[in-house]
Structure 1
Amino acid sequence: MKINDANGVEIDSEMSIVFEDGYFGLILESWGPKVRNKDYNKALEVIIHRLKLSGLKRIEIFLASSGIRKSLNNMNDRRIKNHVDGFFYIDKDSAIDNRLNISKSQKFFDATGKKQVASGNGTKRILIHAKDLNSEDAWMQILDFNYKLPLKVANISNLKEKDPGKYLQMPAIKPEGQINPLRITKTVTVFERDPKVVEWVLFTSYGKCENCNSDAPFISINGEPFLEVHHVVSLSAGGPDTVDNCVALCPNCHRKMHFSNEHEDLKSALYSKITRLKKYNC
């Protein structure tokens, strides 16, 4: 069995849902030799990311290659540990970081057992176990998710120059302004948004504006490409807070969608370009 990425492209890495050595979970077959299961690392990141977005907080990983299973009969001896209690806390670390930690731990094992020095293969056959996923249907719901991998951007550079556009005519008299502006209290209605919808849309954008295709203008303080999630049909107009009504936009395009005199044409272009969007008549 294989899974697809968010673009519908099959990830080249074999996996299966099994009950093995007393544990129910997902087997991810090892990488190699040559090009067999060449997308092992990508598949592992996708799986961890989807488990995280499903609400799971921690998983267990066990080595499951045939040689190690013969040499180490006890499952606890084959547990890949990242924390003192033996769990990988996927709610705290990114999918990439978890995958790297799993790979590092695997290198301390070979076909005969555990070693003092890391020198082995970091892409061995593993069993991924999650306590709450105790049926094939539960795992299939995870594997059927349509999420892209998280994007880690080192730097964003070489941005194309933007057209300056038309400037407003400067007033003839320079305004004085206000040294102590008057404070006004206003009542504002705010809609509660689903953070999982925001996270999904941002991840599936791969750090690029879904309108102009430009890279995010900068990296935010949490290390992620900065984009804003826009509701194509606004919440105030009755639009739903769902992934088929949301897009990831750079701040410039986001303002265009709200304030440009061409915003209806821009909206129509989004529907033509992004296939997941659904037209809502609100």
Structure 2
Amino acid sequence: MASESRCRDGVWDGIDDDGVARLEIDRPDRMNALDGLASARLVEVCGQWRSRNDIRVVILSGRGGAFCAGADVAGMASSAASSGGFDADESRGIIESGSRLVGAVRDLPVPVVAAVDGAAVGIGASLAVAADLVYATARSYFLLAFVNIGLMPDGGATALFTASVGRARANAMALLGEKLFAPEAFDAGLLNGVADDADLLEGLVDGAVRRVLRSSPDALAMTKSALDAHALGGFQAAIGREITGQTALLQSPAFQRALSAFAGER
């Protein structure tokens, strides 16, 4: 039972008496797509948890049958329609928000376990893969469809996915917009385990959490830091390239057409 829990701005967070902290995106009507408030809340909670020595492990998930469908494009389309588009400062602010979110997860000193059920798209895919251990249901998939709307991957995706699945598979996801379903993602090295359904996924995650709780917190923190230094040594440089590229692309005619089409469909 959680000794602390609350829901605010589309994010539920709680910490139980064993030091297991849970972060759950709670916007099921939007497939847990992230708006500015939800992103800011996730960053805020991770920042608060980073300095707490009573937290041993963090579980990251989404409510209602989707992990996270990415940025709330509907909200972006509405905002762009009312303001006439995004200028350079607004564009940079949007991309920096996603980068801060993934960075906040990566900066947690304890192991982060992602429980993915359903779609993990765009910044949602980056958020899932930013975890240290990733488990998913068989129906889940990962999608970097930025190119379809005139954008490029962000949130550290160019580093995270290349480090996890290799250059060829990452190129297919980013350049061709190919979906990577959970069974294939497991074979490619993106996932630590696949479960047939949400109940079995919970069992997989709980098993990993129990093993973490039996280990030395100091040993886990130092091991995580060493692994990151090797596998994700270029993470910050990738973030910088993505921010520069996306800032320009958010103002491009191709993306403006995509937003207009989306607003028209809505």
Same-fold status (TM-score > 0.5) = no
Larger relative contact order, structure 1 or 2 (CA cutoff 8 Å, min sep 6): 2
Higher helix share: 2
TM-score of the aligned structures, taking structure 1 as reference length: 0.23
